[in-house]
Structure 1
Amino acid sequence: MSATATATRPRAAARPSSDVRVTFPRLVRSEWIKLWSVRSTWWVVPITVVAQAGIAWLIAYFGTREMERSGVDLGAFTAGELVGGIQLAQLAICVLAVLTVTGEYSTGMIRSTLTAAPTRVPALLSKGLVVVVVSFVTGIIGTVLSWAVTYPVLGETYRVDLADATNQRILLGAPLYLAAIALLAFAIGALLRHSAGALATVLGLLLVVEGILSMIPWTFFEKISPYLPMSAGSQLVQNGGPDAVLSPWQGYGVLVAWGVLAVTAACLLLRRRDA
């Protein structure tokens, strides 16, 4: 009996424990650690916050000085001016989102990631979730800091009215917009798997293609340009107007749809392609 028990003990010890199963929360934790273990994250996140808050301060400072110099009082600033730096901040967020996924392909670490998660899709989704959450929190910090640095500059006369519904929507929309842009950039990075190519595609789409199409006086381009990612999503952080094709939340929904479709395509290709 003792010999049998002794012989079976090594087998029992060799059984894989349920504690080491690869679950989605464990993948998320792993991706969180990987994201903060690279130096680019520690550079990009502060740059995003400083860019957003710095431009807000410049708009507030020179805007108030110009009104005082000209003697024309345009009233209180709006939240749209307060988050004016978001157009520059989104570029830094796009770099972070792209490098998060393409960096693993360039170093070959993606093979280890997919070996640990052979179904592949959960690994990609966990990585994307971490990028979106970090972008959202970075947007919150940048928006709060933008308000803080402009508070003493604007004074009582020009200070943003936080009780106004439009201002509330814009301040909430700034981090939401950055999170959605990060999702789209991350998906393009997962599709192309090459840092330079993915960054060129993302920045070209947001800064070049959308700008060119909006200026072409053809009915077709005039119809589709409001539905392009940045044009649609930026409605959430603008004051809006009667000529807007999409409402702020409709525009944001279009931007999210772009990101979801791109992530879906990336998941499908990930299952078909080699690492």
Structure 2
Amino acid sequence: MTGTETTEYRVTLPRVIRGEWVKLRGQRSIRWVIALAVVVPLLAIAIWALTQSPASPRRFDEVDVVLGSVTSSIFETLVLFTLLGALVGTNEYETRTITTTMAAIPRRWPVVVAKAVVVAAISAAVSLIVLFSGLGIASLIVPTSAPVGLADPGVVAALLGTALFQTSAAVISLAIALVLRSSIGAIAGTFGFLYVVPGVFNILPLTPVQFFASTFPGPASGSLTALVDAPGQLPYGASVVAVLVWTVVWFGIALLTTEKRDV
């Protein structure tokens, strides 16, 4: 084999990422999940906005109601993003095509990285499209003295924080799916990690334990999605760090599990 041929067929991370994107693009279930992740939240935002009106003519209350209408879709998006991560993480195991993938990429870690990059990119793009489009829809529907926009204080930060949380949930779901190799297990495990586990910790009357519970992505999202920091929760900057750290932790667990365990 010549040097040119070796370079042409060498496994590189960009090529693995491109391959993962091609595989996902060809799966009908993935396309449906992505489409639903755009349409369903936008419908939820419009419906919620139709039922809302500011408590007072103060600008803060107007912005808060519009933003609340946008972030009201967070649960629908979480469900679909969690499903996306679970499907990406388990499809190849369920069809047994993972053996072909790992034979072509024996070091394995590029496969995990590529899946995470593709899931994060799709989730972030869809989330940002929905949130910024939803802001325009809610601003048109909710009666305010002037349209709410990106120039209003706190709006951009809340939208970006919401997108970060939603993207993190998708990547965590992918990681749990790679560890459990079960779609249902990944979905249940993700919501359990986001909300159930910190809820159990909060029951314990110990300040350090309750603080630890507030670092989980679910509780931390309270400050990420609001105009002001939620009472009793981490401030915005600390919430960003907490969400990123937990995402990296789960990614690391998935990476180690995939490297060490038999296909």
Letter aligned with residue 224 of structure 1: F
Partners of 2:223 and 2:235 within 8 A in 1:
yes
Q: Which residue of 1 aligns with 2:51?
A: 62
Correspondences of 1:70-109 after superposition (within 5 Å): 73=57, 75-78=61-64, 79-109=67-97
Partners of 1:180 and 1:256 within 8 A in 2:
yes
Name the SS of the counterpart of 2:186 in structure 1: helix
Structure 2: how far apart are the matches of 1:56 and 1:44?
A: 18
1:218 aligns to 2:201 (yes or no): no
Q: Which residue of 1 aligns with 2:17?
A: 28
Structure 1: how far apart are the matches of 2:81 and 2:49?
A: 23
Letter aligned with residue 77 of structure 1: V
| Structure 2 unaligned spans of 5+ | none
Q: After superposition, give the CA deviation of every residue in 1:56-89 in whole Å (9 maximum; x if it has no partner).
A: 222221013xx6xxx9656413224422211221
Which structure is larger by alpha-carbon Rg, 1 or 2?
A: 1
Structure 2: how far apart are the matches of 1:52 and 1:243?
A: 27
Q: After superposition, give the CA deviation of every residue in 1:32-61 in whole Å (9 maximum; x if it has no partner).
A: 011111112111112222232222222221
Q: Percent identity?
A: 27
| Structure 1 unaligned spans of 5+ | 1-11
Tell me which moved more, 119-128 or 43-52: 43-52
Tell me which moved more, 115-124 or 265-274: 265-274
- TM-score of the pair, normalised by structure 2: 0.88
Q: Which residue of 1 aligns with 2:217?
A: 229
Letter aligned with residue 31 of structure 1: E
- TM-score of the pair, normalised by structure 1: 0.84
Q: Which residue of 1 aligns with 2:167?
A: 179
Structure 2: how far apart are the matches of 1:52 and 1:103?
A: 25
The alpha-carbon distance between structure 1 residues 249 and 15, as it changes in their structure 2 partners (threshold 3 A), is closer
Name the SS of the counterpart of 1:63 in structure 2: coil
The alpha-carbon distance between structure 1 residues 226 and 19, as it changes in their structure 2 partners (threshold 3 A), is same
